[in-house]
Amino acid sequence: MTNRNHVLTTGEYYHIYNRGNSKQNIFLDTQDYIIFQQLLYLMNMERRIALRDVTGSVYSYERTTPLVSIGAYCLMPNHVHILVKQIGNGGISKYTQKLFTAYAMYFNKKYIRSGGLFEGVFKSKHVTNDLYLQYLFAYIHLNPIKIHNVSWKEDIKRGKKVNPNHALLYPFSSILDYLDQERIESRILKKSDFPFSFKDSKEMMRNILSWFRHPNFT
């Protein structure tokens, strides 16, 4: 089951998220994060395919028509965030089913376990305006601060100093792809499908840090 009370509409933007059953960790080592990033790219097409069927770099694989456009993502120890635009009818549902099923199969085989890995199919929030879209862009990319400081938002409200570098240097989100770093994982994204009004990486950074300093950021 999902928490959706809205229809997933083609051409609209959505914040997709999911977490491990009983909040269990779904990434136990670096390889797990890397595999999920590869699946973010590879599962985004109508054609059915498995990682084992790909020879060479996953990111060099020529996909068929993508199901969604991805504008941002972040992989946390026990949950994931993905900011998407639906391209075709049913695109988000098809994509997330393929993505989470493929990763659960990989995880269960690697760690010799059975049963569901995720709490549910997926959850989603409809992005209804550009301000909310930019808020989510910052929220998703600032998530990794929680790995080192669970109470960082409360600390900011109390006037305590919090270092955002844990998020801004995090390799398992799309933040580095917006900081003009050349890496193969940038192929996961389709930035041109998102109306982010950043002139360059410096302006993007200012936008994220403005949300970071906002006392009501949640």
Contact between residue 74 and residue 144 where contact means Cβ atoms under 8 Å apart? yes
- At 114-144, the pLDDT tens digits run 999 999 889 999 999 998 999 999 999 999 9
Which residue from 18, 13, 67 is spatially nearest to 44, judged by alpha carbons?
Answer: 67
For residues 149 and 167, give the distance between their C-alpha atoms in angstroms, rounded to a whole number: 11
Q: Which residues, at least 6 apart from 2, have a Cβ–Cβ distance to it below 8 Å?
A: 120, 121, 122, 123, 124
> Which secondary-structure segment (H or E) carries 108?
helix 91-110
13-25 pLDDT per residue, tens? 999 999 999 999 9
Assigned token pair, 152 = 């960082």
Interval 162-203: pLDDT, tens: 989 989 999 999 999 999 888 999 999 999 999 987 888 888
Q: Is 159 left (phi over 0), alpha (psi -120 to 50) or beta?
A: left
**Tens digits of residue pLDDT in 76-94:** 999 999 999 999 899 999 9
Sequence ranges of the domains in the chain: 13-212
The first and second tokens of residue 3, run together, are 């928490």
In DSSP terms, 82 is beta-bridged to 16, 73
C-beta of residue 30 within 8 angstroms of C-beta of residue 172: no
Greater confidence, 130 or 6?
Answer: 130
Looking at CATH, the fold of the domain delimited by 13-212 is given as Alpha-Beta Plaits (3.30.70)
pLDDT value at residue 156:
87
Say which DSSP state 6 is in: S
Whole-number pLDDT of residue 213: 81
